[in-house]
Amino acid sequence: MSSRVTLPELGRMKRAGQRIVSVTAYDYSMARLFDQAGVDILLVGDSLGMVIQGQENTLPVTLDQMIYHAAAVTRGAQHALVTCDLPFGACHGAGERVMDAAVRVLKESGCQAVKLEGGVRMAETIRYLTERHLPVMAHVGLTPQSVHVFGGFKVQGRGEEQAARVLEDAEAVAEAGAFAVILEGIPATLASEVTARLAIPTIGIGAGAGCDGQVLVSYDLLGLFEGIQPRFVKRYLEGGEAIREAVGRFAREVREGTFPGPEHGFDP
Ligand code: KIV
């Protein structure tokens, strides 16, 4: 695979109408496989709180945990741009404080960018970071860190008033210097309108086909996460079934005494 995807390259892809492909990654081995599959952006999402840690939502995830996973993903990625979520609590407060957290992420993990949730309310923070050349991906619509404010993982941007708010959020983060924006859990027509209005790429998840790119949580795409199953997920593999079958076969062979065979041992 050629050299690493860059911020200017993502802008060029939007202008050329070339769709951007993104998946979440949390560890070295998976990151390596996704990278070899030609993914453009590996997102170290704080969804790891749910799919890796088994938490109810993303709120308990810490900055140290994000850095730990982002470092592993970065070691597996030759081609994809690696972007790491700033977890709940790390992007609140003054720009300098958020900058310190974001600098730690880039320095300690080696990834190329951070992502943070929020529109108008985060625009000033995004500007603080981007003016200091720290690449920021934004995230608006159904922002999972706001789960308690929304009263659950609920679709956003329905109705004129809410739609106007999402549009305003997307425009604010683009104007503040974000290099791309995730549009999550909003009506497809609204996502298409946002995409047409913005000069930066939009990456959709549960936002229809009119975005400049798409992202899915890899554990959903691969059928490995058996918790909440949002309607927008398409499973490209029944990974859970495949793993149960493989480990079940291993267990049977151990119990029958047919594994290990002579070929798995060492000569004296
Ligand atoms: O945390 C995450 O995985 C995300 C994606 C769902 C966009 O933010």
Domain boundaries, given as residue ranges, for the chain: 7-237, 239-268
| pLDDT reading at 55 higher than 90 | yes
Q: What is the pTM of this model?
A: 0.97
Position 217 confidence tier, pLDDT thresholds 50, 70, 90: very high
Nearest CA to ligand 1 atom 3: 45
Place of tokens 């999550």: 184
Asked if 116 contacts 139 with a C-beta cutoff of 8 angstroms, the reply is yes
Give me the mean pLDDT over the 104-131 stretch. 98
- What's the average model confidence in pLDDT over 141-149? 96
Question: Any idea of the CA torsion for 54, 106, 27, 24, to the nearest 10 degrees?
Answer: 70
Q: Say whether pLDDT at 159 is over 80.
A: yes
| CA–CA distance, 55 with 172 (Å, rounded to integer) | 31
Q: For atom 1 of ligand 1, which residue has the closest CA?
A: 45
pLDDT > 90: percent of the chain: 97
pLDDT at residue 163, rounded to an integer: 98
CA atoms within 13 A on the CB side of 89: 9
User: Thinking of the domain 7-237, which architecture would CATH place it in?
Assistant: Alpha-Beta Barrel (3.20)
* 111 contacts 43 by C-beta, under 8 angstroms: no
Asked if 197 and 212 count as a contact pair (C-beta separation under 8 A), the reply is: no
Which of 69, 215, 219 gets mutated to test ligand 1 (max ligand atoms within 8 A of its CB)? 215
pLDDT, averaged across the chain: 97
Q: Which amino acids bring their CB within 6 angstroms of ligand 1?
A: 24, 43, 45-47, 85, 139, 182, 184, 205, 215, 217
